Amino acid sequence: MLQSIILQAPAKVNYRLDVIARRPDGYHELRMIMQRVNLCDQVSLKLVDGNEIKVSCGREGVPDGEGNIAWKAARALLDLAGQPSGVEIAIQKNIPVAAGLGGGSSDCAAVLLGLNELLGLGLSCEQLMEIGVKLGADVPFFVFQQTALAEGIGEKLTPLTGLPPAWVVLVNPNLPVSTAWVYKNLQLTQRERLATIPDSFEDVASICRVLSNDLESVTIPAFPVISEIKDELIALGACCSLMSGSGPTVFGLFDNEATARAAGEALRGNNDWFVAVVETV
């Protein structure tokens, strides 16, 4: 039986994020198009004697103990296994923290998937998603491992197949943004109807036609640099640009590698921002 495993935990961007209503439980009803990209944290899991869970990361803003969502994922599966075992979790962070890219949720999903295998639990994707949603709203998407239309609080997932691949330039101005703060300050406006999501997307331009993020209305006024980054990406050849999640990361979609890499180099040269040129997966 395997005693250790190393998993890649990808980031995500939101091609669309509609906030439909505030729920009585404090969450919001959402409709999102969620796409993984190949900027990944590395999550290493090792079963150990005893029943202790150790999480090491060494990144500012990421707790190493019980406050880490990866620790909570491990606790949930070890309790379910009902056998004395501990686990050491080492997370190598490559995804910016509190950035709207889902890094913590992706690490959590990697722990669920990895321990399911190491402990021989045989839990289905659906069962892992049910555990994951209790830990974080984006966790089920990363367990799902497909481009998806996410509804509810993010746990109702429908696969979106056939989306064209795209080159993505991620730009984070190194400003941590609290998701809770963004949602707390969001003013919901009455909609006549939700925009229709097409059944198919022919090219990057067709993805651009659905790009929208309701949370920009909160984050951009507080951090105008987000709007500036969007404009810069368009000027550098992006087909379109949007803030991901609650921000502050901005992404630009490109239909070819050369233009994307040139844009990335230009943005790295002018600022101390985090810049990564990645592909959709």
Catalytic residue numbers?
12, 138
Q: Enter the tokens of residue 74.
A: 């491990």
Half-sphere exposure of 157 (CA within 13 A, CB side): 23
Residues 252 and 67: their CA atoms lie apart, in Å, by 33
CB neighbours of 6 closer than 8 A, spacing ≥ 6?
Answer: 42, 43, 44, 45
DSSP designation for 233: H
* Residue 164 contacts residue 210 (beta carbons within 8 Å): no
What is d(CA 111, CA 106) in angstroms, rounded to the nearest whole number? 9
46 residue type, one letter: K
